[in-house]
Amino acid sequence: MPKTQKVPEATIKRLSIYMRVLKDLEKKNTEVISSADLAEICGINAAQIRKDLTYFGEFGVRGVGYFVKELHFDIRKVLGLNEKRNLALIGVGNLGRALLSYKNFADHGYDFVAAFDTDKEKIGSDLPCGIPVYSMDKLDSLAKDLGIDIVIITTPAEFAQDAADKAVAAGVRGILNFAPTQLNIPREVHLKRVDLTTEFDNLAYHLHAG
Amino acid sequence: MPKTQKVPEATIKRLSIYMRVLKDLEKKNTEVISSADLAEICGINAAQIRKDLTYFGEFGVRGVGYFVKELHFDIRKVLGLNEKRNLALIGVGNLGRALLSYKNFADHGYDFVAAFDTDKEKIGSDLPCGIPVYSMDKLDSLAKDLGIDIVIITTPAEFAQDAADKAVAAGVRGILNFAPTQLNIPREVHLKRVDLTTEFDNLAYHLHAG
DNA sequence: TGGTGTGAACAACTTCACAGCG
DNA sequence: CGCTGTGAAGTTGTTCACACCA
């Protein structure tokens, strides 16, 4: 029976990992897997996996394990990945272009539908991947017309807050920020940050301090 | 007095954020900042900041706050960023190329010194950023000759483990993995992972479930 | 028998509240 | 007086250990 208790953020992150592993297992025609075996593959404690899953239901069979195909489907449903998500990118630099052409996203149901920039040279052209580059003025109307769910910000740090403000004003509800700066946005908009320099700093610390 | 207790991983991540903010403050000639004001800028609890800092020393002045320039310097030292770090990239695709040309890394003391790939078309050429592309066979000798500290893996998932194994064999002590797969590496090598699809999945979940 | 589901113990991290010092 | 440094309390997340069931 699905519990109505608060789900830890960390659990959500792990579901995404389980899903990827289950996808692979499905491809290899593995039909059943125990939490212990899944734990081994994911490098996560088996009790943790069982607990994560029971936040959303009882998916396993005692004495047997989990049916791979079924569990994969159930996790997809929990994460809300059955509907496609429309993405837009703000800031068409090297990183932005690389993300636009990253095949993996499409496989997972994420589609880039537009890109935005302030550079007049870029606006109006289509990118190699076929996505058009619009002026920032168009963000508001296009967000509504195209149904943009998530915006990816790959602008320089000093323009990121402005980009975020415009995205929020346009009704976007999820933002993934690659710019190395803290963004202020309303509580109801979901924000995630990928901070590459922080990751390097972290490695550097461990190389130097143990 | 610096305590000899274990420093939480989360603290290290935040130090990296404080450093970026302090850098900005220094540029604006702010001389002193209180934990409350720094907390406001970073979106982090003030007590948390004070506690993070005292793992490494007593950097503040009671009744006054922290001297920006001094604290910036001290955190750099704690993170081990005074020495430059040599980076190498394995997997010269779109994402890899974007990372190689990302200006921010150089500003923070991270220098790409080599790139590796298995594609004969790419090997031997220099990239636009001036970095040479080598065959994977060269990884072992070059890692030693060039003093590669950290390797960034941007290969497709199926080649990532092999890339990691070769990097470990070559004596590299830090790995940043962008490939969407779990890597097995010895405990003494530091591994960090940036998983873009997981970030999207996370946003998708929150859009759909609250 | 073997593996799930789960309460209880444990561990890690965060926040509070205030003593102590410049 | 104001802000740091810090023990203690509170909160969140992880692991254990075992009852329970196919």
Average of per-residue pLDDT across A162-190: 95
CA angle A98, A85, A187 (to 5 degrees): 95
> In whole angstroms, what is the distance from residue B170 CA to residue B141 CA?
7
What is the spatial distance, in angstroms and rounded to an integer, between the CA atom of A49 and the C1' atom of C3? 13
Total beta-carbon pairs less than 8 A apart between chain A and chain B: 175
> In whole angstroms, what is the distance from residue A106 CA to residue A31 CA?
26
Residue A87 per-residue DSSP state: E
Asked if B121 and B137 count as a contact pair (C-beta separation under 8 A), the reply is no
- Asked if A150 has any chain B CB less than 8 Å from its own CB, the reply is yes
C4 C1' closest Cα residue: A62
What is the spatial distance, in angstroms and rounded to an integer, between the CA atom of A48 and the C1' atom of D16? 11
Asked if B65 and B32 count as a contact pair (C-beta separation under 8 A), the reply is yes
In CATH, what number does A9-78 get? Answer: 1.10.10.10
C12 C1' closest Cα residue: B8
Query: Which residue shows structure tokens 């010895």?
Result: B186
Domain boundaries in chain A? Answer: 9-78, 85-198
Asked if B77 and B56 count as a contact pair (C-beta separation under 8 A), the reply is no
Average of per-residue pLDDT across A97-108: 89
β-pairing, A32-33 vs A66-67, is: antiparallel
With a cut of 90, say whether residue A107 has pLDDT above it: no
pLDDT of residue B4: 59
Q: At what angle do helices A35-42 and A9-27 cross, to 10 degrees?
A: 100
What is the spatial distance, in angstroms and rounded to an integer, between the CA atom of B154 and the C1' atom of C15? 39
How does pLDDT run across B149-159, given as a tens digit for each residue?
999 999 999 99
Average of per-residue pLDDT across A121-131: 90
pLDDT of residue B138: 97
Pick from A78, A182, A200: CB nearest B105: A200
Asked if B89 and B115 count as a contact pair (C-beta separation under 8 A), the reply is yes
Query: Which residue shows structure tokens 């790939």?
Result: B117
pLDDT of residue A3: 43
With a cut of 60, say whether residue A4 has pLDDT above it: no
Low pLDDT (below 50) residues in chain B: 1-3
What is the pTM assigned to this prediction?
0.94
Number of neighbours of residue A132 by Cβ within 10 angstroms: 15
Pick from B43, B94, B99: CB nearest A101: B94
Nucleotides on strand C lying under 7 Å from protein C-beta = 1-7, 12-17, 20-22
> In whole angstroms, what is the distance from residue B37 CA to residue A10 CA?
29
pLDDT of residue B1: 37
In the 18-47 segment of chain A, residues within 7 Å (Cβ) of strand D are 44-45, 47
pLDDT of residue B2: 42
CA angle A204, A206, A207 (to 5 degrees): 65
Q: Which alpha helices (DSSP H) does chain A contain, by range?
A: 9-27, 35-42, 46-54, 68-79, 94-100, 103-107, 139-146, 157-169, 196-209
Q: Does domain A85-198 have CATH number 2.40.30.10?
A: no
In which band, very low, low, confident or very high, does the pLDDT at A86 lie, cut at 50, 70 and 90? very high
Q: Tell me the C-alpha to C-alpha distance, in Å, between residue B41 and each of A182, B61, B145.
A: 8, 20, 43
pLDDT of residue A103: 81
Q: Which residue has the higher pLDDT, A84 or A125?
A: A84
Strand D closer than 7 A to residue B50 Cβ:
yes
In which band, very low, low, confident or very high, does the pLDDT at A113 lie, cut at 50, 70 and 90? very high
Q: Tell me the C-alpha to C-alpha distance, in Å, between residue A179 and each of A2, A156, A162, B54, B83.
A: 38, 6, 12, 29, 25
In which band, very low, low, confident or very high, does the pLDDT at A173 lie, cut at 50, 70 and 90? very high
Residue of chain A whose Cα is closest to the Cα of B129? A94
* Tokens matching residue B93: 């695709």
pLDDT of residue B106: 86
Percent with pLDDT over 70 in chain A: 98
| Strand C surroundings (CB within 7 A) | A 1, 3, 34-36, 46-47, 50-51, 53-54, 58-66; B 6, 8-11, 44-45, 47-48, 51, 61-64
